[in-house]
Structure 1
Amino acid sequence: MRKLLAPALMSALLLGTAPLAIAPALADTAAPAAPVAPILTTPEARDVWTHADPETARVTHVSLDLDVDFASHTLAGSATLSVLAKPDAKAIVLDADDLAITSVTDASGAALAYTLAPKDNAELGSALTVTLSEAVKKTGTIRIAYRTAPAASALQWLPPAMTFGKTRPYLYSQGQAIHNRSWIPTQDSPGIRQTWDATLRVPGDLVAVMSAEKLSGAKGEKLPDGRRAFRFRMDKPVPPYLIAFAVGDLKFKALGPRSGVWTEAAMLDKAASEFADVEKMITAASNLYGPYRWGRYDMLVLPPAFPYGGMENPMLTFLTPTIITGDRSNTDVVAHELAHSWSGNLVTNATWSDSWLNEGFTTYFENRIMESLYGKERAAVEADLEWDNMTRDIADMSDAMKTGMTAAGTRLHGNPGDGALDYTKGSNFLRMLENRLGRATFDAYLTSYFDRHAFQPQTTAGFLADLREHVLKGKPALELSLQLDRWAYGAGIPDNAVHVKSATLARVDDKLAAFTAGGPASAVQPQGWSTQEWLRFLNGLPRTMERARLAELDQTLHLSTSENAYVQSAWFELAIANHYEPAFPAMRDYVGRIGRGLLVYPVYKGLMQQAEWGPPLARELFDAAKPTYHPETAAGIARIVSE
């Protein structure tokens, strides 16, 4: 437990300028002392997506002790928080979303006064304000007993029918961007990094995994009531959205000395084969930008309801099964989530308005990993498609949305951190810097940048200042040529952008041109095509086509029945645009079994654009499929079909 700190030292710890803070945990799982990450205090670092006031009082460690109840679809137990507060602080403000608070006490069990405000915003949840007694200021400990709501936005409870094995239920969490406040009462902001530990008690025939070091073995500890307890520890300060877990009928297969894959038995061999190069990826990434600092890199392949391609939870990346296509053409998703171990997990955007520091850096880094492993042409294919996506996204934006990669801390609408340009324009910004500065210079800078800011938050202004200080100082002409502020804060694509072109995709373009000019679908001959080649072809087809040509494509290339979820999504977009009804039965099945937003959002958007017949069908499909979607995916589709 903490001892009373001198006022000057307390203030230093609050802002992260003191070297160490001890995070209390369970006696047998106590984490070693960990550095306290700083709280940035510049105006652009103010997080509008949290109720917290971390400059007054902040959380440094969370200790979770929870029962997982599949019958009630709830988690119940406690969160013990380690807090640091200014000497004159009266209270600490936390984030909570539909949590039923049972009690709030200090380390001795004495009740603490608290208020749980009504929801002041449908997305932000409620402010949980806890009075800081003298006892709390001495021990630095608050214990909150609570229960989650059955519809907690971070949690998806799957019945057996929605799993691969069809016999056991499944539960997983998805915290990014601000959903973890629906199951953890803490300061839910990427700029308030925290260490943590957890004990989860689950049904005896299931396995729990978390984004942390396992302390209780793969099978947990058997309890007298037949359940099993699983214990975990994360001794490095992470943004709270990275606290993640899953419970299911899970099996494990090692892929190397520091990597392996968890999934259900039916997917285990396929996943292990698809991700066989992960150890090489870790080595390649480390050779590029410094050591991998998280120990293990395991992966969890979830059921199809998972809303993303991947989620970079440290030590346990969550992955969609839609990337498993048997040809390893989508392992760029693994490279992307691995790269987050540096950009995002190690150096984190302080607010979601600067999420390009997370996703843009990672998309660039992912491409460098792919080049290192598979050569320049593989990297060029992905960079070329990325350019297509960037230009298409900008063209589709309204004038009001055509801003830079950051909203300078003012964005408060939709889903925080949900911007396509965060990925594409962000990575192209870094590619331009590599081109202008030289790869050797830029790589050396990025390595030093990750080291300098390790386990800390960052802002766009902070990154630009760091680049100017360590690379551009005394070089005004070079700095002017880079157009840094236009990239970061301006609309559109600056004229110094670098468009990498792929010879592989150029050959696809030739086949596309031949078909568009009237050639037969049989001449396309896509045997051996990667997902990227398929997407180049399908997305390049005219949006208006005759029914006979669509039928020829479908029958020759087997698009409606493709086993590649990316191919099906792109095909359904084209079928919808032309009201090609023979594809609709497959489309109906698709949106009922695929929960990845990237793949199903375009289907619903396409239907809503067909004013005469599309909206009723979109709403019908959504009504039927909604129970299979993660709450975030369902909310995203609900916004689409209500427009």
Structure 2
Amino acid sequence: MAPFDPHSFADSSQPFATHISLTLYLDFSGSSIHGSALLTFPAPHSGPLTLDSRSLTIESVLDPRSLSPLPFFASSSTGDSATDPIKGSPLTITLASHSSVLIVFCTSPSSSALQWLSPAQTFSRYHPFVYTQCQSIHARSVFPCQDTPAARIRYSARLNLPRPLSAVMSASKVSRREPVLGEASPSVPDSVWCSHDRIVEEFSMNQPIPPYLFAFAVGDIDGRDIGPRTRVYAEGGAEVLEAAAREFAGVEEMVMVGESLFGPYEWERFDLLVLPPSFPYGGMENPRMVFLTPTVIKGDATGAQVVAHELAHSWTGNLITNKTNEDFWLNEGFTTYAERRIVEVVQGKERADLNIGIGWRGLHDEMIRFKDKMEFTKLKTKQEGVDPDDVYSQVPYEKGFQFLWRIERQIGRPAFDEFLKKYIATFKFQSIDTDTFLEFLKANIPGIENQINLHLWVNGTGIPPDAMEPVSAIYTEIVSLAREFISGKVPTEEEVSHWHGQEWELYLENLPNSVEASQVTALDSRYRLSESQDFEVKVAFLQLAISSGCKEYFAEVERTLKQVGRMKYLRPLYTTLVQGNAKEEERLLAKRIYEEARDFYHPIARGVVESIFSTRL
């Protein structure tokens, strides 16, 4: 066996599937999917084929032509000795000159990619909801596959779901129709598949994507066009949909700016889905169907900056993908750079500089977080035996951005723009590693290795000395005001009259970690930051309040942790409650809140919070 990805059982000596045809029966009552996956390979293969799986029951493996069984071995479940706590279980099939294989399976209610929501957990409270989150290594808990970003697949999907509901996917919609006899997975009887209260929706993805970009959502979903190639969808009725449409009204302009900077938009559509508040990320860049947290709807269009990031992934991440998670910066560093270029054109340089400043503060915070694990402050990391969710951080985003910004400053923006376009055109629809990028960089910008210490940037720990804090009047003003807070100076109404959420976020994140409780309450009494509808501001303030021992804000902390499941908010609040100098009262509060909120959180978020408890300092 020749594994090449520390997070996958896939074997480099075996062929990658090029197409997967999925038939999925969604069982809301059992929180599971009964399905089949037809994997097709570029040529006949004889010998073992190893796939990734996690929390899947493999019912049978069949020759698609004859439906005769094929030999396979799958470890049973979480208690099996062959189960890896990070990678899951290998599924090994023996093929004899087969160019395709049919696998019949069932997901588990504990699938790490799927969150099944009861009607009470949704906005509308009338119908259940389910959605996927497959990044980084969770597609294997939805269907067996070679779950590595090195493998790019096309797919088709046939979803059988309750008739009142509808589905969206990171794929082109083909049809919504009545079920047909004989099309079900072998494990689903025709009488069940064709029940009068079921409907079938079909999708097709004709461009090759890594498995982590496979995505769907099913529920009471409605949509509204906001541009010639963009439709916003939401669960929760007209109010949520209208707010989302207003927030993202400028998306088409962003797409056109992206095309002018980085080349043609290759994905035809750029649709958006606003998910229920348990969604663990700000956004997920699934091609054709970006998933978003409702917390990005801020009412002032600044939430569109998250959309700019997910849009930028259409070129860097989706079009060119990191080969393994050890090269994750190739996705996120490039995308953070591209996002800020789009924001600079659409919303102005001052807004882009604020983004850079917030990222600069976040990068320094990550240096503190990883002070005992400096490996994860590198761009090119070693992750054997490491769960990528546990070391997810701003380092690949912000240090990656700084690296590319450093190259831009060295050669000038016009030359760097030409380099970017050539890079994207050369490697589109491919998965590459850091060495491939560096070789391309040196070949196309001769002598760059003599001008910038590429090895230090990629393989060195910490922040390189030639990284740069942004320079702008508004950034300098806000940071200066934050430094004056320690002496008791609260900004005046005149000084903050032009501030929006990002300005307050930058201000709060540059305050000392712990100040006098009276200063915190004085700041809040003037500006009501604890009541902010912008969760970036609210969470930054509540983190400060916890650190300063302001018990009067514990009720708001609890409400916040039970209201949203975005890990960007869960991680700092739970960490502040349980780690470092946290008091026993705060640790007990955190434990109680988590026990009560646990079922609301997505499985990925649960794992992150539980790791915070288990690594208490």
TM-score, length-scaled by structure 1: 0.88
Q: CA deviation at 1:480?
A: 1.3
Q: Give the letter for the 2:387 counterpart.
A: G
Q: Give the letter for the 2:95 counterpart.
A: L
Q: CA deviation at 1:557?
A: 1.4
What does 1:452-491 correspond to in 2, within 5 Å? 452-472=426-446, 475=447, 478-491=448-461
Q: Give the letter for the 1:572 counterpart.
A: L
Q: What is the match of residue 16 of structure 1?
A: none
Cα distance in 2 for partners of 1:513, 1:111 equals: 70
In terms of mean alpha carbon deviation, does 595-604 or 376-385 score higher? 376-385
Q: What is the match of residue 6 of structure 1?
A: none
What does 1:327-346 correspond to in 2, within 5 Å? 327-346=300-319
Q: Which runs of 5+ in 2 are unaligned?
A: 180-193
Q: What is the match of residue 537 of structure 1?
A: 507
Q: What is the match of residue 498 of structure 1?
A: 468
Q: What is the match of residue 245 of structure 1?
A: 216
- Output one character per residue of 1:125-181: Cα deviation in whole Å (capped at 9) or x when no partner: 1000111024x2xxx111111110011110001111221111111100000001110
Cα distance in 2 for partners of 1:611, 1:583 equals: 15
Q: 1:101 pairs with 58, 64, 78, which one?
A: 58
Q: CA deviation at 1:450?
A: 0.7
Q: 1:619 pairs with 567, 571, 591, which one?
A: 591
Q: 1:164 pairs with 96, 99, 123, which one?
A: 123
Cα distance in 1 for partners of 2:508, 2:412 equals: 35
Q: State the percentage of identical aligned residues.
A: 38
Q: 2:230 pairs with 259, 263, 282, which one?
A: 259
Secondary structure of 1:216's counterpart equals: strand
Q: CA deviation at 1:442?
A: 0.9
Q: What is the match of residue 283 of structure 2?
A: 310
Contact 1:354–1:409, Cα closer than 8 Å, also in 2: no
Q: Give the letter for the 2:130 counterpart.
A: L
Cα distance in 1 for partners of 2:503, 2:292 equals: 22
Q: Give the letter for the 1:122 counterpart.
A: P
- Output one character per residue of 1:384-428: Cα deviation in whole Å (capped at 9) or x when no partner: 221121122224422432555344554431325723210000011
Q: Which runs of 5+ in 1 are unaligned?
A: 1-40
Q: CA deviation at 1:84?
A: 4.2
Cα distance in 2 for partners of 1:86, 1:63 equals: 17
Q: Give the letter for the 1:589 counterpart.
A: R
CA RMSD of aligned residues (A): 2.0
Secondary structure of 1:133's counterpart equals: strand
Q: CA deviation at 1:194?
A: 0.7
Contact 1:255–1:272, Cα closer than 8 Å, also in 2: yes
Q: What is the match of residue 350 of structure 1?
A: 323
Is 1:133–2:96 an aligned residue pair? yes
Contact 1:404–1:489, Cα closer than 8 Å, also in 2: no
What does 1:33-432 correspond to in 2, within 5 Å? 46-84=4-42, 89-107=46-64, 108-117=66-75, 118=80, 119-134=82-97, 136=98, 140-216=99-175, 221=178, 225-264=196-235, 265=237, 266-402=239-375, 405-407=378-380, 409-415=382-388, 418-432=392-406
Cα distance in 2 for partners of 1:512, 1:537 equals: 6
Q: What is the match of residue 560 of structure 1?
A: 530
1:270–1:532 CA distance, 2 compared to 1 (3 A): same
Cα distance in 1 for partners of 2:49, 2:379 equals: 29
Contact 2:230–2:270, Cα closer than 8 Å, also in 1: yes
TM-score, length-scaled by structure 2: 0.92
Secondary structure of 1:215's counterpart equals: strand
In terms of mean alpha carbon deviation, does 485-494 or 62-71 score higher? 485-494
Secondary structure of 2:33's counterpart equals: strand
Cα distance in 2 for partners of 1:203, 1:600 equals: 33
1:403–1:310 CA distance, 2 compared to 1 (3 A): closer
What does 1:513-528 correspond to in 2, within 5 Å? 513-520=483-490, 523=493, 526-528=496-498
Secondary structure of 1:614's counterpart equals: helix
Is 1:440–2:414 an aligned residue pair? yes
Contact 1:155–1:174, Cα closer than 8 Å, also in 2: yes
Cα distance in 2 for partners of 1:100, 1:49 equals: 20
Secondary structure of 1:49's counterpart equals: coil
Cα distance in 1 for partners of 2:9, 2:413 equals: 42
Contact 1:384–1:502, Cα closer than 8 Å, also in 2: no
Contact 1:282–1:338, Cα closer than 8 Å, also in 2: yes
Q: Give the letter for the 1:482 counterpart.
A: I
Secondary structure of 2:529's counterpart equals: coil
Secondary structure of 2:514's counterpart equals: coil
Q: CA deviation at 1:519?
A: 3.3
Cα distance in 1 for partners of 2:119, 2:288 equals: 27
Q: CA deviation at 1:524?
A: 6.8
Q: Give the letter for the 1:64 counterpart.
A: L
1:213–1:313 CA distance, 2 compared to 1 (3 A): same
1:130–1:434 CA distance, 2 compared to 1 (3 A): same
Cα distance in 2 for partners of 1:502, 1:120 equals: 52
Q: CA deviation at 1:511?
A: 3.7
Alignment length, in residue pairs?
Answer: 590
In terms of mean alpha carbon deviation, does 511-520 or 529-538 score higher? 511-520
Cα distance in 1 for partners of 2:368, 2:19 equals: 44
Contact 2:354–2:506, Cα closer than 8 Å, also in 1: no
- Output one character per residue of 1:50-76: Cα deviation in whole Å (capped at 9) or x when no partner: 111142232111110011111000111
In terms of mean alpha carbon deviation, does 416-425 or 95-104 score higher? 416-425
Q: Give the letter for the 2:268 counterpart.
A: G
